[in-house]
């Protein structure tokens, strides 16, 4: 049996696209046999124009999806905290995020992955 660490901390950094299609908007998928806790998500507007950001969750297990933010406006050269509390994802749940314009918003997400003993 492989020695699997109980907890893994991850920082995800990327520039958002404007695609709303699931294939392009998925920024993170919780791994098999792990639960993931979204600790923080910061979005930075890199432009001199207002930009919008949408953040959503998708769960294949119970076939649901939910918008956490939809068209949230970030002022020019400003940063917004997109997650005020913790969000728990179980295996194969997905975090989706996109902006109104390509290459206008950078995103940093802090994630704690832990062994999921509920399966």
Q: How many structural domains are present in the chain? A: 1
Question: How many Cβ atoms from other residues are within 10 Å of residue 64's Cβ?
Answer: 10
- Kindly state whether residue 1 falls inside one of the protein's structural domains: no
Residue appearing with tokens 């969000």: 87
- Kindly state whether residue 84 falls inside one of the protein's structural domains: yes
Query: Whole-model pTM?
Result: 0.86
Distance CA 90, CA 19 (A): 24
CATH number for the domain that contains residue 59:
2.60.120.340
22 φ, ψ to 5°?
Answer: -50, -40
pLDDT at 70: 94
Kindly give the pairing relationship between strand 26-29 and strand 51-59.
unpaired
Tokens (6 digits) for 119:
């399966």
Report whether pLDDT(2) > 90: no
Question: What range defines the domain where residue 35 resides?
Answer: 7-115
* Alpha-carbon torsion angle 114, 115, 118, 119, nearest 10: 130
pLDDT, tens digit, 9 for 90 and up, residues 4-13: 678 889 999 9
- Kindly state whether residue 72 falls inside one of the protein's structural domains: yes
């Amino acid at each position: 049996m492989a020695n699997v660490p109980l907890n893994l901390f991850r920082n995800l950094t990327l520039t958002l696209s404007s695609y709303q299609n699931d294939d392009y908007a998925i920024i993170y998928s919780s791994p098999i046999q792990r639960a993931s806790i979204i600790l923080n998500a910061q979005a930075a507007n890199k432009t001199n124009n207002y930009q919008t950001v949408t953040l959503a969750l998708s769960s294949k297990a119970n076939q649901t999806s939910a918008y956490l933010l939809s068209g949230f406006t970030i002022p020019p050269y400003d940063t917004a905290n997109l997650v005020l509390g913790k969000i728990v994802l179980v295996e194969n749940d997905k975090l989706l995020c996109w902006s109104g314009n390509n290459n206008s918003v950078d995103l940093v997400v802090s994630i704690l992955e832990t062994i999921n003993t509920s399966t």
